[in-house]
Chain A
Amino acid sequence: MKTVVEFVRPALLVAWKDVLLELRNREVVATALVFGVMLVVIFNFALNITPETVDVLAPGVLWVAFSFAGVLAMSRAFVAEKEEGTLDALLLCPVSRDSIYFGKMLAMFIFMVVIEAALLPIFAVFFDFSAFSATLLGAIVLATLGFAAVGTLFAAVAANVRSREIMLPILFFPLVSPVIIGAVETSGAAIGGSGAVVSTGRWLQLIAVFDAVFLVVCPWLFSIVVEE
């Protein structure tokens, strides 16, 4: 019992630190949100979305906006720590690296969910579909967890290398491509109700497997990334 508290409490504190910082300067969520809305506008011009095509196009547009806005928010998570030199202080704390990983991951997950919760009604209004189904919300939570699991690890990697703004997306998107496929398929079924051959449950399972695998592998690798 004591060990669980020793692990969970520092993780929650790290996450709370990031949330508090965000509440004070509103840097990450605000910029990512504006970027997301801008993407919707550009997609509207690029694809000429009409009521006839909205069922086909909306899931794709939704997830491109979510993942691009998300990766923008992620890249800030460790860059700020690196610039201010606070990452070293964080690593000097007498807590396990796993706690730091899960704390940073939880904060990233919260930011992304807030961004997505704000973008979803905007989408629903612009493209006139009902955004609130259990399947869609389930897909958003599971996919965002996968994004945050892989994103935390590679945001820590990218913050330490040159041209880090571009390195995070280059490393991140190929790795999460199965999550994006699964999320788009599930959302498509939830929004349009198109005749799905592979059931949405199977897609959610695939994303859940991805989450489980990388929530085990990434904390271990995170401790290697931040060593020295």
Chain B
Amino acid sequence: MASVANSARGGLRWNIALVAMAAVMVANMFFTFMFAPTEATSGHVQRIMYIHVPMAWLAFLAFFVVFCGSIMYLWKRTAKWDDLASSAAELGIIFTTLVLITGPIWAKPTWGVWWTWDARLTSTLVLWLIYVGYLMLRAYSANRSQGARFSAVLGIVGFIDVPIVYFAVDWWRTQHQRLVLGGLSLEGDLHPDMRLALLVSVIAFTLLFGFLLRQRVSLKRVERGVREMREDAEFMAEGQR
């Protein structure tokens, strides 16, 4: 029980890390809105890149954590790995949803359309569907251990599927070139200041991800502790009767 209370409160070191993360997030606001130069052709709307790109990176990072957590759960069968995998899946869904929302907001003024069936966009959408299925599978399972087992299976299959989906959609796009994408390409010609702002943003949001993941995992642990205490109490009340 003591460990449950301890992890929920967190130590002094954790509080320092929290303040540091908050400071980096504030610094990130400065870099995004003031330091980074305004893009020449599309203007201020390009600043959405400093949110969109880190979100996309975190979505993939989160689903990689789901993959690792799923393998570890099926190997060790301890609840902490399932907590890690399912928490990362929830965060991955949130970040993928934000990618799918910020993407069209950026695309409309830059490309002139909300959506295009490009490899990156389409595979992100497929990814979103796979992990929504992951959460539904957990919700519809008969009991917790079954839900953990089944969702771990999907966590592994889903992540293996991602590169195949990407290649398939990429080749499909080259056959159906409907629209030539103008505007900014992310790989090559970024201004050094833009590159720095993007780097700061990626670091800031990755710290945020670590913070949220830790909070969600410890919340799940507390929930399980409470559930076990209630079950014990019911069992003892049953015995006294």
Contacts and interface: CB of A to CB of B under 8 A. Distances in A.
Interface of A: 150, 153, 157, 160-163, 167, 170-171, 173-175, 177-178, 181-182, 185, 196-198, 202-203, 206, 209-210, 213-214, 217-218, 221, 224-225, 227-228
**8 cross-chain pairs, A with B, having the tightest CB-CB distances, nearest first:** A178-B168, A174-B129, A161-B140, A162-B140, A181-B168, A174-B130, A221-B153, A178-B164
Contacts of B129: 170, 173-174
A157 B161 contact: no
B103 interface: no
Chain A CB within 10 Å, residue with most, of B130, B152, B158: B130
Nearest to A218: B157
A177 B140 contact: no
Contacts of A170: 129, 132-133, 136
B74 A224 contact: yes
Contact of B158 (A175, A181, A198): A175
A75 B44 CA distance: 51
B125 to A, nearest CB: 9
B150 interface: yes
18 contacts: A150-B157, A153-B157, A157-B150, A162-B140, A170-B136, A171-B133, A174-B161, A175-B161, A178-B164, A181-B172, A182-B168, A185-B172, A198-B175, A202-B171, A209-B164, A217-B156, A218-B157, A224-B153
B214 interface: no
A175 B157 contact: yes
B167 A157 contact: no
Nearest to A180: B168
B165 interface: yes
Contact of A203 (B140, B158, B171): B171
B3 interface: no
Contacts of A225: 149-150, 153
Nearest to A169: B133
Given A161-B142, A181-B172, A197-B174, A213 B160 contact: yes
B42 interface: no
Nearest to A171: B133
A198 B152 CA distance: 35
A185 B140 CA distance: 35
Interface in B104-162: 126, 129-130, 132-133, 136-137, 140-142, 146, 149-150, 152-154, 156-158, 160-161
A214 B160 CA distance: 9
Nearest to A198: B171
Contact of B157 (A217, A227, A228): A217
Chain A CB within 10 Å, residue with most, of B142, B158, B160: B160
Given A198-B171, A221-B157, A206 B137 contact: no
Contacts of A178: 161, 164-165, 167-169
A118 B153 CA distance: 34
A171 B135 CA distance: 11
Nearest to B138: A161
A179 B90 CA distance: 27
Nearest to B74: A224
A197 B161 contact: no
Contact of A206 (B140, B146, B171): B171
Contacts of B161: 174-175, 178
Contacts of B171: 185, 198, 202-203, 206
Given A161-B137, A185-B175, A177 B160 contact: no
Given A170-B133, A217-B160, A206 B153 contact: no
